[in-house]
Chains A and B, each alone.
Chain A
Amino acid sequence: RKEVEQDPGPFNVPEGATVAFNCTYSNSASQSFFWYRQDCRKEPKLLMSVYSSGNEDGRFTAQLNRASQYISLLIRDSKLSDSATYLCVVKGTGGFKTIFGAGTRLFVKA
């Protein structure tokens, strides 16, 4: 079983739609959680950290459920520019070993 698993995608949605991505992790000792965004043939970049209380950044909302070892990302009012691959990222104990999910591809269409 992979340490971090994500929805396989791809997700094809129209502009303005709301879309949700899910991610599960296997190591209950994991301590830090993130969503990264990766554009085609580019390097990953941090989208947002994920906190136990849930957090929001504009149209993006991230949630963490430690009991279920589950992370989610909600994108509201999708834009064409949101088309990218979204990577779920988990840091293990000590904060150094960082594991990436395989990513979920999102296509937003006009």
Chain B
Amino acid sequence: NAGVTQTPKFQVLKTGQSMTLQCAQDMNHEYMSWYRQDPGMGLRLIHYSVGAGITDQGEVPNGYNVSRSTTEDFPLRLLSAAPSQTSVYFCASSQGGNLNTEAFFGQGTRLTVV
């Protein structure tokens, strides 16, 4: 079972460049989300989606865009990378409509902006 697949695993960007972090899940989960993890900060919610065509902002959405055209895919776009976006990014998915469902995470993308 693939679960949640994130690509790339590592990326170095120059300030001002744009890129898309890919996230795909094969569990037919309704809910998908993006987090960033910085030392001492825990995981902070960037954007989330409760189903295809529906997205909403989390705690730290500035500088990021998302779309959800299919149930499987939830890409995260950095419009103009800044050094403050250096972080580890995790994509997660869970079954919708049930409060106690487990969130499954991808292996993370380590992004460095220079």
Contacts and interface: CB of A to CB of B under 8 A. Distances in A.
Q: Do A and B originate from a single complex?
A: yes
Contact of B99 (A31, A100, A101): A31
Interface string A1-29: 00010000000000000000000000000
A69 interface: no
18 contacts: A4-B42, A32-B100, A34-B102, A43-B90, A43-B108, A46-B102, A49-B100, A87-B42, A89-B103, A95-B96, A95-B97, A96-B31, A96-B50, A97-B58, A98-B92, A99-B45, A100-B43, A102-B41
A91 B99 contact: yes
Interface string A66-110: 000000000000000000000101010001111111110000000
Given A43-B106, A43-B107, A44-B90, A96 B96 contact: yes
A95 B103 CA distance: 11
B53 interface: no
B110 to A, nearest CB: 9
B45 A97 contact: yes
| Range class of the A interface residue count | 20 to 34
Contacts of A103: 42
Interface in B76-103: 90, 92, 94, 96-103
A96 B43 CA distance: 15
Contacts of B105: 43-45
A98 B43 CA distance: 10
A95 B43 contact: no
Contacts of B44: 100
Given A32-B100, A102-B41, A96 B107 contact: no
A95 B98 contact: yes
A100 B101 CA distance: 15
